[in-house]
Amino acid sequence: MVVVLESGATPGQVDHIIRVLHDYGFDVHQSTGVQHTVLGAIGVHPEFDHRQIELLPGVSEVVRITEPFKLASRAFKREGSVVDVGGVPIGGEAVVIMAGPCSVESEEQIDTIAARVAASGARILRGGAFKPRTSPYAFQGLGEDGLRMLRTAADAHGLKVITEVMDKSQIDLVERYADVLQVGARNMQNYTFLKDLGRISKPVMLKRGLAATIEEWLMASEYILAGGNQHVILCERGIRTFETATRNTMDIGAIPVVKKKSHLPVVADPSHGIGIRDKVIPMARAAVAAGADGLMVEVHHDPDHAKSDGAQSIYPDQFDQMMQEVRLIAQAIGRRLA
Amino acid sequence: MVVVLESGATPGQVDHIIRVLHDYGFDVHQSTGVQHTVLGAIGVHPEFDHRQIELLPGVSEVVRITEPFKLASRAFKREGSVVDVGGVPIGGEAVVIMAGPCSVESEEQIDTIAARVAASGARILRGGAFKPRTSPYAFQGLGEDGLRMLRTAADAHGLKVITEVMDKSQIDLVERYADVLQVGARNMQNYTFLKDLGRISKPVMLKRGLAATIEEWLMASEYILAGGNQHVILCERGIRTFETATRNTMDIGAIPVVKKKSHLPVVADPSHGIGIRDKVIPMARAAVAAGADGLMVEVHHDPDHAKSDGAQSIYPDQFDQMMQEVRLIAQAIGRRLA
Amino acid sequence: MVVVLESGATPGQVDHIIRVLHDYGFDVHQSTGVQHTVLGAIGVHPEFDHRQIELLPGVSEVVRITEPFKLASRAFKREGSVVDVGGVPIGGEAVVIMAGPCSVESEEQIDTIAARVAASGARILRGGAFKPRTSPYAFQGLGEDGLRMLRTAADAHGLKVITEVMDKSQIDLVERYADVLQVGARNMQNYTFLKDLGRISKPVMLKRGLAATIEEWLMASEYILAGGNQHVILCERGIRTFETATRNTMDIGAIPVVKKKSHLPVVADPSHGIGIRDKVIPMARAAVAAGADGLMVEVHHDPDHAKSDGAQSIYPDQFDQMMQEVRLIAQAIGRRLA
Amino acid sequence: MVVVLESGATPGQVDHIIRVLHDYGFDVHQSTGVQHTVLGAIGVHPEFDHRQIELLPGVSEVVRITEPFKLASRAFKREGSVVDVGGVPIGGEAVVIMAGPCSVESEEQIDTIAARVAASGARILRGGAFKPRTSPYAFQGLGEDGLRMLRTAADAHGLKVITEVMDKSQIDLVERYADVLQVGARNMQNYTFLKDLGRISKPVMLKRGLAATIEEWLMASEYILAGGNQHVILCERGIRTFETATRNTMDIGAIPVVKKKSHLPVVADPSHGIGIRDKVIPMARAAVAAGADGLMVEVHHDPDHAKSDGAQSIYPDQFDQMMQEVRLIAQAIGRRLA
CATH class of A2-63: alpha beta
pLDDT at B157: 98
C-alpha distance from D34 to closest chain A C-alpha (Å): 20
pLDDT confidence bin for D35, thresholds 50/70/90: low
pLDDT at A303: 86
Instruction: Measure the CA–CA gap between A173 and A268, rounded to whole angstroms.
Output: 26
pLDDT at B224: 95
Closest-CA residue to D309 (of C49, C193, C113, C121): C49
pLDDT at B137: 65
Q: How many CB pairs under 8 A join A and C?
A: 70
* Residue of chain A nearest C32, judged by CA positions: A29
D94-133: per-residue pLDDT in tens? 999 999 999 999 999 999 999 999 999 999 999 999 876 6
Closest-CA residue to B292 (of C333, C252, C293): C252
C-alpha distance from C125 to closest chain A C-alpha (Å): 33
A27·C35 Cβ contact <8 A? no
A2·C63 Cβ contact <8 A? yes
* Residue of chain C nearest A260, judged by CA positions: C60
Q: Is A280 exposed, middle or buried (0-12, 13-18, 19+ CB in 10 A)?
A: buried
A44·C35 Cβ contact <8 A? yes
Closest-CA residue to D287 (of D313, D274, D268): D268
Chain A positions touching chain D (beta carbons under 8 Å): 211, 213-215, 239, 241-246, 249-257, 260-261, 273-274, 278-279, 282-283, 285-291, 325, 328-329, 331-333
Provide the 8-state DSSP code for A311: G
pLDDT at C67: 63
Residue A279: which of D257, D329, D333 has the nearest Cβ?
A: D257
pLDDT confidence bin for D238, thresholds 50/70/90: very high
Phi-psi region of A239 (alpha: psi -120 to 50; beta: other; left: phi over 0): beta
Q: Of B7-11, B232-236, C239-243, D191-195, which gets the smallest average pLDDT?
A: B7-11
More confident of the two residues D9 and B253: B253
Residue A135: which of B47, B195, B310 has the nearest Cβ?
A: B47
C246·B253 Cβ contact <8 A? yes
Number of Cα atoms under 13 Å in the Cβ half of residue B313 = 26
B169-215: per-residue pLDDT in tens? 899 999 999 999 999 998 998 888 999 999 999 999 999 999 999 99
A105-164: per-residue pLDDT in tens? 999 999 999 999 999 999 999 999 987 666 666 677 888 999 999 999 999 999 999 999
Residue A332: which of D254, D256, D325 has the nearest Cβ?
A: D325
pLDDT confidence bin for D46, thresholds 50/70/90: low
CATH architecture assigned to A83-337: Alpha-Beta Barrel (3.20)
Chain C residue numbers touching A38 (CB-CB < 8 A): 2, 29, 40, 65
pTM of the model: 0.87
Q: Are A120 and A320 in contact (CB under 8 A)?
A: yes
For an interface test with B, give the residue of A73, A139, A189 to mutate (most B CBs within 10 A): A189
Q: Are B105 and B313 in contact (CB under 8 A)?
A: no
Q: Is A35 exposed, middle or buried (0-12, 13-18, 19+ CB in 10 A)?
A: exposed
pLDDT at B66: 61
Q: What is the mean pLDDT of chain B?
A: 90
C232-251: per-residue pLDDT in tens? 999 999 999 999 888 899 99
B195·A135 Cβ contact <8 A? no
Number of Cα atoms under 13 Å in the Cβ half of residue B46 = 14
Q: How many CB pairs under 8 A join A and B?
A: 115
For an interface test with C, give the residue of D69, D73, D199, D210 to mutate (most C CBs within 10 A): D210
Query: What average pLDDT does range C178-182 have in this prediction?
Result: 98
pLDDT at A65: 64
Listed in sequence order, the residues at least 6 apart from D294 whose beta carbon sits closer than 8 Å to its beta carbon are D90, D95, D96, D97, D98, D233, D265, D267, D268, D338
* Residue of chain A nearest B139, judged by CA positions: A47
B289·C285 Cβ contact <8 A? yes
Instruction: Measure the CA–CA gap between C330 and C257, rounded to whole angstroms.
Output: 19
Q: Is C25 exposed, middle or buried (0-12, 13-18, 19+ CB in 10 A)?
A: exposed
pLDDT at A26: 82
State the chains in contact with A (3 or more Cβ–Cβ pairs under 8 Å): B, C, D
Chain D residue numbers touching B7 (CB-CB < 8 A): 75
Residue A65: which of C4, C8, C244 has the nearest Cβ?
A: C4
C-alpha distance from C322 to closest chain B C-alpha (Å): 10
The reply to whether A2-63 and A83-337 are identical in fold is no
Q: What are the beta bridge partners of residue B94?
A: B336
B304·A20 Cβ contact <8 A? yes
Q: What is the mean pLDDT of chain A?
A: 90
Chain C positions touching chain A (beta carbons under 8 Å): 2, 4, 6-8, 27, 29, 31-36, 38, 40, 42, 44, 60-61, 63, 65-66, 75, 240-242, 244
For an interface test with A, give the residue of C65, C74, C78, C210 to mutate (most A CBs within 10 A): C65
Q: What is the mean pLDDT of chain C?
A: 90
* Residue of chain C nearest D139, judged by CA positions: C47
pLDDT at D34: 57
Q: Of A264-268, A311-315, D37-41, which gets the smallest average pLDDT?
A: D37-41
A186-205: per-residue pLDDT in tens? 899 888 899 999 999 999 99
Query: What average pLDDT does range C8-13 have in this prediction?
Result: 87
Task: For A98-147, give the DSSP string.
Answer: EEE-SB---HHHHHHHHHHHHHHT--EEE-BSS---SSTTS----THHHH
Q: Is D23 exposed, middle or buried (0-12, 13-18, 19+ CB in 10 A)?
A: exposed
D36·B65 Cβ contact <8 A? yes
C-alpha distance from B39 to closest chain D C-alpha (Å): 9
Instruction: Measure the CA–CA gap between A97 and A314, rounded to whole angstroms.
Output: 14
pLDDT confidence bin for D83, thresholds 50/70/90: very high
Res C86 pLDDT > 80: yes
The share of chain B scoring above pLDDT 90, in percent, equals 65
* Residue of chain A nearest B195, judged by CA positions: A136
Query: What average pLDDT does range C78-88 have in this prediction?
Result: 95
A239·D260 Cβ contact <8 A? no
Identity at D107, one-letter amino acid code: E
C-alpha distance from A79 to closest chain B C-alpha (Å): 24
Res B53 pLDDT > 90: no
Q: Are B259 and B287 in contact (CB under 8 A)?
A: no
Residue C42: which of A34, A66, A242 has the nearest Cβ?
A: A34
Q: Residues B317, C285, B295, B136: what is their CA dihedral angle, to the nearest 10 degrees?
A: -90
C276·D210 Cβ contact <8 A? no
Listed in sequence order, the residues at least 6 apart from D155 whose beta carbon sits closer than 8 Å to its beta carbon are none
pLDDT at C162: 98
Q: Are B165 and B181 in contact (CB under 8 A)?
A: yes
Q: Are B182 and B164 in contact (CB under 8 A)?
A: yes
A223-272: per-residue pLDDT in tens? 999 889 999 999 999 999 999 888 899 999 999 999 999 999 999 999 99
C-alpha distance from C256 to closest chain B C-alpha (Å): 6
* Residue of chain D nearest B260, judged by CA positions: D60
Domain boundary assignment for chain B: 2-63, 83-337
Cα torsion D75, D79, D80, D85: sign: negative
ipTM of this predicted structure? 0.88
